[in-house]
Each structure stands twice: as structure tokens, then as C-alpha cells.
Chains A and B, each alone.
Chain A
Amino acid sequence: MTHVSHSVDAADSRSLWSLSVDERAYVAFVADHDGDNICQRLADMGFLAGRSVTCLVTPGFGAPRVYAVGGSTYSIDKRTAQLIRVVNERPA
């Protein structure tokens, strides 16, 4: 896994998957996933640095979780959610 350039250090951020229900955070950056365009697709869908994201539902048994970003709702699995790094305060 390689990381795209970003202003927030990976150590200061946590994964989107760590959000609990109704918790809001801000996208810090999306770690690039080797061999596919997942980073690009997430950006197209609104997972851009500084954008607020809220966890809406965490179904059990490791099922993909539901997040709201930019007025849309997405279901994202753990592996993908871990590529999205978030912080509690909106990045500068």
C-alpha cells in the first residue's frame, strides 16, 4: 500500500472504520490501494480531504458499514474503510 500526498500525518489520523454510530469526523486523506482505482473512485464519491463524514449504521457480523458524505449514503466494507483516514477536527 502506498500513500498519496497529504497534509495530515498518518499517525494523527484513524481509519473510517473506527467511527461509531452517529460519530462525525473529517476526511484527512485516502490511502492509495495498489493495483486499482479505488482512491479515485472514493474521491469521485466525495471522500475528499476536509469533507465531513458520519457513520450512520454498523450492521453486525463484520458487514459493510453505512456512511454519509456530501448528502449521499455509501456502504463500505472494512478493507476499503481502512483506506480512508479521518481526523476529529477539520484539517486546515
Chain B
Amino acid sequence: MRDILLVGAPNSGKSALFNRLTGLKHKVANYPGITIDVGKGHLVSDTNVSLWDFPGTYSLTAVSGEEQVAIDNLRCALNDDREAVIAMVLDATRLEKGLTYCLQVAREAARSKKTFIVLLNMMDIIENDDLELDIAGLQAALGVPVFPVSARTGNGVNTAEQAMVSGEFDLPPWAETPDVLISGSAQQIGDRFSPKGDLLVRRQARLDHWLLGTVSGGIAFVSIMTLFFQAIFTWAAPLMDGVEAVVLSMGGLVASVMPSGMAADFINDAIFGGLGAFLVFVPLVFILTLIIGALEDSGYLARAALICHRPLSYFGLSGKSFVPLLSGVACAIPAIYAARTMSSMQERLLTYVAIPLMPCSARLPVYALLIAILIPDGTFFGGLIGWQGLAMSAIYFFGISTALLVAALVSRLGNDNRRGQPFILELPAYRVPIARPILRSALNRAWHFVRKAGSVIFMVTIGVWILGYFPNGGEDLAGSWLASLGRFIEPVFEPLGLDWRYGVAIIASFLAREVFVGTLGTIFGIENADADPAPLADQIAASGLSAASGVALVVFFTIALQCVSTVALLAREAKSARFAITLMVGYFVLAWIVAWLVFVGSSALLS
């Protein structure tokens, strides 16, 4: 029984091979540095064989903390007594890129008496473009077995798998080679065996000329981002309507067969209200992950990072912050993970500062409710533009601007050399996105949301219902435990023109922002407010919420960090609970101050 260790340069297709061999679902994308942890699985064909997927690095010399961890893990595995095969994955279309690392690891494998083979990936591109690659010659030059494979099509993978499981090979002939000769040999082998001509580079450059051109690149970027945001709202809407219809009909069905009383109230309001509170967001999370996955896989996201580098640098950030910030529009959790690809810890911390301010999908139902209360449902320009849609765009713009301004302020207060951080990003080849892994990743993300966020929202909704139902059996909300709690914290939110009901909803939403709408729905006695906020909006409007308070609430939610999962992950990733708690408290104070200023200003304007 032996272990198989998949290693190689970033974006060489290790995770795609890992998924094909294990049947697992590691995130793969056409973006360098997407694998951030060592992954483990078992071969589908032989579950006794463990397969390890190592993060990509360019050499055995680390330039970031994550690379150091990956290299240390690899050295541990090499020094382990277990029988292991080191499988170096090389990108056949960019052979030179991984050869120095290949020979370095081959040398270490030889010294540790480990079997070493090369998996020459992306052979489908070589074959489709009729490029010549002398595999026998490359094998002779490297002195190790070379197996041509394609993780995309699966060609050659079975042969390579059999060799990894049961093949017996000589140790690599590099055990005594000094560093300087490793580097020179890699260069010579690369020059000799890389696919001849620059067809692939030229083809990519033709597209880059257009997509990165001064004018055309800007137009393409704005068009793609517009499409991205449009897709979030228009494509997800029918799916969200479908979920809403199912939850409502299920609630109605159960209510029709149950006798009235506490049990019926609990099932109607707490159970179905709780389910609706998070299930309605599942299509949104799915669509967002799907689009970001398609952009990543096409190779465009790396170009977008390049385009954004200069503008982001004015705010102390870099182009590498773009992907985390864009992911933050979906959810802060994947955004925080995405920041791991940044080698500079300072740059990463600043990105962490900005991510919670990005208008994540959890804020969407809060905005939708408040817009429905504050803005009339009219259109202009012949029905092309709606006032409510315009208000939503303005809120998004405000959120993104706040994120950038806070990052700029923090970077200047930090007085560090962040503006001087080097920007080097490998641009992956353009390719047509493959539907299956992207769909699988989107489904995984949606399922993760149901399991993690869903359970929190569900429990909070039930907790709020219990607090509101007792001790008087739901007869009088003003006499409930919930009202007592609300009156206790009322002085905090009174200066914003908000009474105890909003205070309770805001406090509950610190667990997850989405809880705000469901909590208000429970307080105002509206069932399934998450699925259909219109009746709740009418009820709130009728209850006398002033326009100034409504705007203050929008501002508060744009800034406040109300998500325990985000705070917990920030503490872990920044390796500092103090950093995460400072952000949470700081954003609460900032949100309150800005909301109060907006409330006072709006009140003066509207009076």
C-alpha cells in the first residue's frame, strides 16, 4: 500500500487530476494558487491508496507563509517511512514553468528513496493544436517516467494511475546534483522539449490585446461586470420565486390540516418561517458561485485583477484583492478564503478589512425590504429603469465605496510600504469553461450555505419566535420576553429613530444579517416575510417608520459587521481574535455614527 503525492506549479491541473482520480470535489479553477490546503482522498479504483493534493509552488524556496506550510508538508511526507510515489504534474503547454521545481523535488525524492514520476498534463491542448512534444526524449532527459495525461478529457489517466499504484521505477538520477546545475538543467530541458513555436502565447496575446486594451479592455470589463450584477438579480429571481412558492405552499398545506394552537403557530411561524429565512437565498448563492466559477475558468478573472490593480492601488490594495472583493459580493466566507492567494500578509489583512463592507448577498433581503418601504415602485425612461432598482444600485455603490475608503484610510494610518508590494500574476490560458466542475462547485457552495448559515438562521428564528410567544402565548407581543429585551436595548437605537422592535431585529441579525427580515416578520406577525417581504413592508410603513430612520437603517446595515461566521473565520485566517473583534466593534461604532449623521441630516432635509 502506498501514498500518492500530487505536486507541481500553480495552475498545472493538480486538483483536476485529484478530483478525477478520487471522485472528490476539490475546488478547481483557471486561476493560479486556488488550492490553499493539502487535500486528501482515496483512489476510486483502490480505496487503500491515499492521494494527497499539494498547493502549487514554483520552487522549494517559499515566498509566503502558505507556500512554506506546503513545502514543509511535502518535506515531511518525503521523510516519512511510508511507501510513497511523488507525482509531479507539469503543464505540457508551459513546460519550462515547472521544470526547476520538478528537478528539485526529483532530487529530494531520490535522496528519500521515493518513487518519482511526471504526469504531463493538458495533452489535449497539445493534440488539438497539432503541437509536437517529444515525450520519449523528455523522459530520457529527466531520467524519470513521463505519462502524458489530460485531466480535462481523462485520456491517459488510467495508465498513469496503474503506474502510480503498482509500477516499480528506478530512483531519479538527481540525488547529488547541486542547485546551480538543477536550474541550468531545467532551462536546457525546457528549451529543448517545450512545444515549438509560440502559437499558444500568440493566440492568447491576440485576445489580451482586445480584453486588456486601454479602451476595449475598459469596455469589456464594464460590460462583463454589468452582466455579472444583472445575472445575480435577474437569473436568481425566478429560482427564488420558486423556492418561495414551495415554502409558502408547504406552510399552507400543514396549516390547513392542523388544529389551531401553539403547535400550529410554532410549525407555521417558527419552522416554515425559519426554513424560508434561509432557503430563499440558496438560488442566489448558487448563481453567484456559478458565474464567478465560469469567469475564473475562462481565464478572465486574472485579467480583471490586472485591470483593477492600478485603481485599487490608490486605496492601498492591489489587483490581487480583486477576486476576494468580488467574491465578497456573494459571501464574505469564500472571499476571505480567496485572499489566501496573496503572498503579502499586510496586503491580505487590508483586504480582510475591506471584505466585510462589500455588499454581500446576506444584505440583499434587508435592502429589498427597506427599498420596498422607502422607494415607490415606479419606472422611467419608458420602463427601462426602475426607481427601486436604481436605489439598489446606489446602495451597492455606497457599500463598495465605503470598503475602498476604509481600506485607503487604514493603509495610510498603517504607514507601511504597501503601495510598494510587487505585483506578479501568471495569466492562465483562455479556455471555454467546463460546465461540470463549475456546477459541482456551485452546488457545493449552496449546500455549504444550507448546512452552515442555514442552521444558524433557523435556530435564531425559532429562538426569536419563542421569546416573542412567551409568557402570554403570543397574545400580546408588547408583553413578551422579546419586548422586554428590546426595551432594554432601545436607548442604543432610539437616536436613529428606531424603537425596540428594530433593536431586537438588529441584535438578532448579528448572528447573520438575513435574520433581520425574519425577526421583523415574527415581531410584526407576518409569516414567511423572507420569502415575500411585501406584506411586511406594508406593515412597517403603516407602523410609522420615518423615511430618515429607514435610510439610517440601510446605512447601518451597509457598514455593520453582522455575521458570526465571518468574524470567526477572520480570527482564524488573520491568526488574531483581536483583529476580528476590533473589526466587528469598529464597524458597529462606525455604522451607528454614520447612520446617526444620515438620520439627523435626512430629518432636517425632510422636515
- Identify A46's interface contact among B93, B97, B215, B217, CB under 8 A: B97
A44: chain B residues at CB < 8 Å are 58-59, 61, 100-101
A87 to B117, CA, bound (A): 37
B307, CB-defined interface residue at 8 Å: yes
Nearest neighbor of B200 in chain A, beta-carbon distance: A71
In the complex, B183 has a CB within 8 A of chain A: yes
Of the candidates B200, B212, B305, B422, which one forms a contact with A79 in the assembled complex, judged by CB atoms under 8 Å apart? B422
CB pair A57 B208 closer than 8 Å: yes
* Interface status of B475 (Cβ within 8 A of chain A): no
- In the complex, the chain B residue whose C-beta lies closest to that of A35 is B417
Give Cα distance in the complex from A46 to B93, angstroms. Answer: 15
* B318, closest chain A residue (CB): A77
Chain A residue numbers with a CB within 8 Å of B306 are: 59, 63-64, 66, 75
* Contact A57 to B205, CB < 8 A, known contacts A44-B61, A48-B187, A71-B96: yes
Residue among B58, B201, B212 with most chain A CB within 10 A: B212
Q: Interface size (B, Cβ < 8 Å)?
A: 43
Q: Are B93 and A71 in contact (CB under 8 A)?
A: yes
Number of A-B residue pairs at CB separation under 8 A: 122
> Given the complex of chains A and B, what is the CA–CA distance between A48 and B59 in angstroms?
14
Q: Are B201 and A56 in contact (CB under 8 A)?
A: yes
B468 an interface residue at 8 Å Cβ cutoff?
no
The verdict on A70 contacting B97 (CB below 8 Å), with A41-B58, A80-B422 known, is yes
B208, A66: Cβ atoms under 8 Å? yes
What 0/1 pattern do residues 175 to 213 of B give for CB contact below 8 A with A?
000000001000100100011001011001100110011
- Are A75 and B423 also in contact (CB < 8 A) when A59-B212, A59-B213 are? yes
Which residues in A have their C-beta under 8 angstroms from that of B214? 59-61
Q: How far is the CA of A38 from the CA of B305 in the complex (A)?
A: 19
Residue A18 at the chain B interface, CB threshold 8 Å: no
Distance A80 CA – B204 CA, assembled complex (angstroms): 23
Which of B14-22, B424-432, B597-605 sits within the interface?
B424-432
Tell me the bound Cα distance from A57 to B96 in angstroms: 21
Q: Cβ of A36 < 8 Å from any Cβ of B?
A: yes
Point out the residues of chain B lying under 8 angstroms from A70, CB to CB.
94, 96-97, 190, 194
B422 touches A36 (CB 8 A): yes
Tell me the complex Cα distance, A77–B308, Å.
12
* Contact A80 B423, beta carbon cutoff 8 Å: yes
Cα(A17)–Cα(B66), bound, Å = 30
B425 touches A74 (CB 8 A): yes
A37, A54, A66, A75 interface centre (most CB from chain B within 10 Å) = A75
Q: Given the complex, which residues of A lie within 8 Å of B63, measured CB to CB?
A: 36-38, 40-41
Q: Does A14 contact B (CB under 8 A)?
A: no
Query: Complex Cα distance A54/B93, Å?
Result: 17
- At the interface, yes or no: A10 with Cβ under 8 Å from chain B? no
Chain B residues close to A by CB (< 8 Å)? 58-59, 61-63, 93-97, 100-101, 183, 187, 190, 194-195, 198, 200-201, 204-205, 208-209, 212-215, 217, 302, 305-307, 309-310, 319, 420, 422-427
What are the 3 tightest A-B residue pairs by CB atom distance, in nearest-first order?
A: A60-B214, A70-B96, A44-B58
